[in-house]
Each structure stands twice: as structure tokens, then as C-alpha cells.
């Protein structure tokens, strides 16, 4: 006999909800067997502004490459960073020392898909 899920509690704030789920199992409240995947194609990743100082020569070269590719130079920087971070994470996962690292999931998207990050 299958247990019916409990009624979902209501929360006054996200902090209260976060505390609740940190100490409770969602299977008591949700029948995950009836769940279906959710897709959010128009959802944009959250971003944070940073200040980054670059040598002028490097910035000039980035702008030149971006101009030749007909993309904004800041978008090109994001693509370059994404590609390099993906390479580094794959290298770390393949190395013998990966057991000492926290597991970081790489989403597997291709560089052309990074345009959504721009």
C-alpha cells in the first residue's frame, strides 16, 4: 500500500522554506513518480557584475577578435572563460587528485550554446 503525500506546508519567506527543506524529505510531501521534467527555455542564468582589470594590450586584442567575429567583446570574454573553465573541470575530474576535489557538474553545453550567457 502506497502512502499518500502529506499536505504541503505554507511558508512566510524563502528563508523559512529553505530551513524546512534542509531538515525534511520531499518524498513525504511529493509523489515524485507522477512528476514530469520541467523546461524553462527562456530562463536566463543569473549574472553578477564584476570589475576586472586587464592590460590595455590584452583588451585591444580581445576587441579585435570580437570585431572579426562580429560579437561584443564582453560576450567573447564570457565564451572564452566558459570554454576554459569546462576544460579545467574535465582535466580535474580525470586527474588522480579528483577525489580530494568537490564534485562540480559541467552542464555539457557546447560553446555555441554559451551565447545565452552573453
pLDDT tens for the 118 residues of the chain, in order? 467 788 888 999 999 999 999 998 888 888 888 888 888 888 888 888 999 999 999 999 999 999 999 999 999 999 999 999 999 988 888 875 555 455 454 554 544 445 555 5
CA dihedral of residues 57, 61, 62, 66 (deg, nearest 10): 150
**What are the residue boundaries of the structural domains of the chain, listed by start?**
1-36, 50-117
Residues contacting 37, CB < 8 A, separation 6+? none
The C-alpha cell at 34 is 507522477
pLDDT of residue 1: 43
Amino acid at each position: 500500500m502506497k502512502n499518500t503525500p502529506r499536505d504541503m506546508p505554507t511558508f512566510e519567506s524563502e528563508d523559512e522554506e529553505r530551513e524546512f527543506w534542509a531538515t525534511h524529505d520531499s518524498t513525504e510531501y511529493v509523489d515524485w513518480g507522477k512528476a514530469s521534467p520541467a523546461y524553462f527555455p527562456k530562463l536566463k542564468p543569473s549574472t553578477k557584475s564584476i570589475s576586472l582589470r586587464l592590460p590595455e594590450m590584452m583588451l585591444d586584442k580581445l576587441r579585435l577578435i570580437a570585431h572579426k567575429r562580429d560579437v561584443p567583446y564582453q560576450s567573447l570574454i564570457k565564451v572564452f572563460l566558459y570554454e576554459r573553465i569546462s576544460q579545467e573541470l574535465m582535466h580535474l575530474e580525470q586527474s588522480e587528485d579528483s577525489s580530494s576535489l568537490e564534485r562540480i557538474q559541467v552542464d555539457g553545453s557546447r560553446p555555441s550554446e554559451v551565447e545565452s550567457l552573453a
